Amino acid sequence: MTLARRLVGESLGTAFLLVAVVGSGIMAERLSGGNDAIALLANSLATGGALVALIVIFAPVSGAHFNPAVTVALAARGELKWADALPYVVAQFAAAIVGVVMAHAMFGLPLLDWSQKARPGLEQMWAEFIATFGLLAIVLSCVAVRSRAIPYAVAAYITSAYWFTSSTSFANPAVTVARTFTNTFTGIGQGDVPGFLFAQGIAVAAAVPLFAWIFRERPKSSG
């Protein structure tokens, strides 16, 4: 695949991921009658289902990262050239915002609308570290052993992490920034974004060397 084709695949996948996240959040909020648990359940299931489909479709094209944290981690591991990592990251951020616009257009909302939903506190930053570290643990482990289960493992983790993290598991810098543009169930206030991005970055810095060590190739015995 040429870089141009990979970037198109990565952009399409990231945009549709945000359509799924934000669109299902809007629909869930409208139909749940104010019950946040039901809304979160619908949002998490829709996101997980979309992730399986999108990874299966775009993994052969771009690797289906849809996430700057994953891209940087894989580049650090040698699975992606650093020269390709920067355009991947730019495409992910831009496509994520486009995905929010696409979702808003379906529901008759302003195409971009600053979020007023606060997600403050060290506990939510810690949750984002946990969410991102866990996601990278799955990705790096599956890549190391060349597992074909990665679409299902990633989707299962993200679906469950919606529920076991206090931040509802953004685990993705592009998703985090894009969700500042939706004043809906899935939004995040701009003031809380730096803390989320910091936590996600620390998770990358921790996960990459740890899983490189865990899965390092051992020399074959001569006997």
At 157-201, the pLDDT tens digits run 999 999 999 999 999 999 999 999 999 999 999 999 999 999 999
In the three-class reduction of DSSP (H, G, I as helix; E, B as strand; rest coil), residue 32 is classed as coil
Helices and strands counted in the chain (H then E): 8, 0
**What's the whole-number average pLDDT of the chain?**
95
Rounded Cα–Cα distance for residues 190 and 179 (Å): 9
Contact 15, 106 (CB under 8 A): no
Q: Is 218 left (phi over 0), alpha (psi -120 to 50) or beta?
A: beta
Give the pLDDT band (50/70/90) at residue 217: low
At 79-135, the pLDDT tens digits run 999 999 999 999 999 999 999 999 999 999 999 999 999 999 999 999 999 999 999
Helices 193-214, 122-144: axis angle to 10 degrees equals 30
In the chain, the domains with their CATH numbers are: 3-210 (1.20.1080.10)
